């Protein structure tokens, strides 16, 4: 793909965007990235003026996305250093990173008195610290998720009279969980950052997929039976969801 950047003015704002032209596309697609950059992918041969017109038509939407990302940027990617805060079941905990000397030191995470402490071997390379801390935290959140979710899933499964066959906690990029007629349930470890009422929504939602694989009226009716306010919880998850990551 060949690319270059272009720009248009919209009101008092300017939108700078990167253009990629490719023969693999038939229509123009615009994406706004978390770092507020804008990408346009267009079919090869599309003239720049036509792309500018399309971007102009979508300008309001683009600015809205950029604004949303900039408001949430602070929580979007953390440095994972002492003093930052991390969410656990909807509450903020202060992160504390402790380096431990000695050959026997191993990564370890504990949650006590409002502090989420990550211990790492001092001998490990500083350049890899962020990813080491992240791995330790993901493992910890995943383990917590296992024990936290089990009774919750059981309770909602009983209410809904559905049977599940297995529960897995996974690192999922784009979804909170999945469930299907096979009875297999999968949940993203990130949901443990959300408050309980949103975790309940995700659990009940995926359990309903054991009965109905789609989002048909029957699906929502079933969910309403055990969670009459599911729509409110779903909206809240949509608004706050981006915070549940690090
Ligand atoms: Zn669904």
Task: Give residue 199 CA to ligand 1 midpoint distance, Å.
Answer: 14
What's the CA gap between 88 and 144, in Å, rounded? 10
pLDDT digits (tens, 9 = 90+) for 98-116: 999 988 889 999 998 889 9
Task: Give residue 206 CA to ligand 1 midpoint distance, Å.
Answer: 6
CATH 3.30.2010.10 residue spans of the chain? 140-243
What's the CA gap between 76 and 186, in Å, rounded? 23
Task: Single out the residue of 215, 206, 98 nearest to residue 162, CA to CA.
Answer: 206
**Predicted pLDDT of residue 242:** 80
Question: Does 2 score more than 90 pLDDT?
Answer: no
Question: Does 239 score more than 70 pLDDT?
Answer: yes
Task: Give residue 244 CA to ligand 1 midpoint distance, Å.
Answer: 19
What's the CA gap between 47 and 94, in Å, rounded? 51
pLDDT digits (tens, 9 = 90+) for 146-159: 999 999 999 999 99
Distances (CA, A) of 109 to 97, 115, 116, 199: 9, 10, 7, 22
Q: What is the mean pLDDT of residues 9-20?
A: 90
Q: Sign of the CA dihedral 230, 235, 237, 240?
A: negative
Question: Does 1 score more than 50 pLDDT?
Answer: no
Task: Give residue 211 CA to ligand 1 midpoint distance, Å.
Answer: 11
Domain 140-243 = CATH 3.30.2010.10? yes
Spatial CB neighbours of 172, under 8 Å, sequence gap ≥ 6: 178, 186, 188, 190
Radius of gyration from C-alpha coordinates of the chain = 22
Task: Give residue 213 CA to ligand 1 midpoint distance, Å.
Answer: 8
Question: Does 169 score more than 60 pLDDT?
Answer: yes
- Given pLDDT bands bounded at 50, 70 and 90, which one contains residue 73? low
pLDDT digits (tens, 9 = 90+) for 24-49: 888 999 988 777 789 999 999 999 99
Q: Which of 67-71, 82-86, 132-136 has the lowest mean pLDDT?
A: 67-71
**Predicted pLDDT of residue 99:** 95
Task: Give residue 223 CA to ligand 1 midpoint distance, Å.
Answer: 11
Q: What is the mean pLDDT of residues 87-102?
A: 94
What's the CA gap between 15 and 188, in Å, rounded? 34
Question: Does 67 score more than 90 pLDDT?
Answer: no
């Amino acid at each position: 793909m060949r690319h270059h950047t272009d720009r248009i003015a919209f009101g008092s704002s300017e939108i700078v965007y990167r253009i990629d032209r490719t023969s693999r596309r038939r229509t123009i697609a615009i994406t706004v990235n978390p770092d507020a950059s804008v990408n346009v992918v267009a079919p090869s041969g599309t003239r720049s003026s036509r792309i500018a017109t399309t971007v102009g038509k979508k300008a309001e939407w683009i600015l809205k996305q950029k604004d949303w990302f900039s408001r949430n940027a602070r929580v979007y990617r953390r440095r994972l250093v002492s003093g930052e805060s991390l969410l656990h079941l909807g509450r903020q905990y202060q992160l504390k990173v402790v380096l431990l000397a000695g050959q026997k030191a191993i990564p370890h995470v504990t949650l006590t008195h409002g502090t989420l402490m990550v211990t790492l071997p001092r001998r490990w390379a500083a350049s890899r610290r962020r990813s080491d801390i992240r791995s330790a935290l993901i493992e910890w959140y995943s383990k917590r998720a296992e024990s936290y979710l089990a009774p919750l899933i059981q309770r909602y499964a009983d209410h809904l009279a559905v049977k599940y066959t297995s529960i897995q906690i996974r690192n999922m990029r784009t979804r909170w969980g999945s469930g299907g007629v096979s009875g297999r349930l999968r949940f993203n470890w990130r949901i443990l950052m959300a408050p309980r009422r949103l975790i309940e929504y995700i659990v009940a939602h995926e359990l309903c997929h054991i009965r109905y694989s789609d989002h048909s009226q029957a699906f929502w009716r079933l969910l309403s039976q055990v969670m009459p306010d599911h729509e409110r919880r779903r909206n809240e998850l949509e608004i706050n969801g981006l915070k549940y990551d690090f």
